[in-house]
């Protein structure tokens, strides 16, 4: 498994656990334990990537949830499986807030689809692709309408 993919897997598993316990446990403690357990060979840069992804999702949770609700109106957030919900949050975080030079949008989408397939199921990959694809197209339209500059709300 490639190091970045492993890092995303660890971040997703950490977010899943945090969400499972209704965000009542310390996310950074979960992340550090999971890095130690699932990524003992990860280089420090990839460990930082795990931390950055998890904390970024946590810090932007409300806006990420709102985007999911808007992009998938027929699926209330509470009805989306824990895995799919956290894969979407992670993918959206990379798509919207991530460094596009480090992780191009299409890579963020493809990685999210793979996480959904690996941890949830084939139909989850299609669902994640649909939601992230919708958001990506909307972002591209917004950038085009603003002469190449992303719209800042």
Q: What is the mean pLDDT of residues 12-38?
A: 97
pLDDT-derived band at 133 (thresholds 50, 70, 90) equals very high
For domain 3-145, the CATH class is mainly alpha
Burial class of residue 150 (count of CB atoms within 10 Å of its CB; 0-12, 13-18, 19+):
exposed
Strand stretches in the chain, DSSP E: none
Q: What's the pLDDT tens digit per position in 110-122? A: 999 999 999 998 7
- Closest C-alpha to 127, from 153, 73, 98, 88: 88
Tell me the domain boundaries of the chain.
3-145
The model's pTM: 0.91
């Amino acid at each position: 498994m490639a190091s970045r993919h492993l890092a995303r897997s660890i971040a997703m598993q950490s977010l899943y656990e945090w969400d499972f316990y209704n965000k009542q446990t310390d996310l950074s403690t979960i992340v550090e334990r999971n890095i130690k357990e699932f990524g003992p060979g990860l280089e420090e840069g990839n460990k930082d990537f795990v931390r950055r992804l998890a904390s970024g999702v946590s810090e932007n949770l409300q806006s990420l949830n709102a985007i999911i609700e808007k992009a998938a109106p027929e699926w209330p957030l509470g009805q989306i499986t824990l895995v799919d919900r956290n894969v979407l949050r992670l993918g959206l975080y990379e798509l919207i807030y991530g460094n596009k030079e480090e992780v191009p949008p299409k890579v963020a989408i493809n990685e999210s689809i793979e996480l959904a397939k690996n941890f949830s199921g084939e139909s989850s990959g299609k669902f994640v692709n649909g939601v992230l694809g919708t958001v990506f197209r909307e972002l591209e339209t917004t950038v085009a309408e603003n002469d190449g500059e992303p719209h800042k709300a």
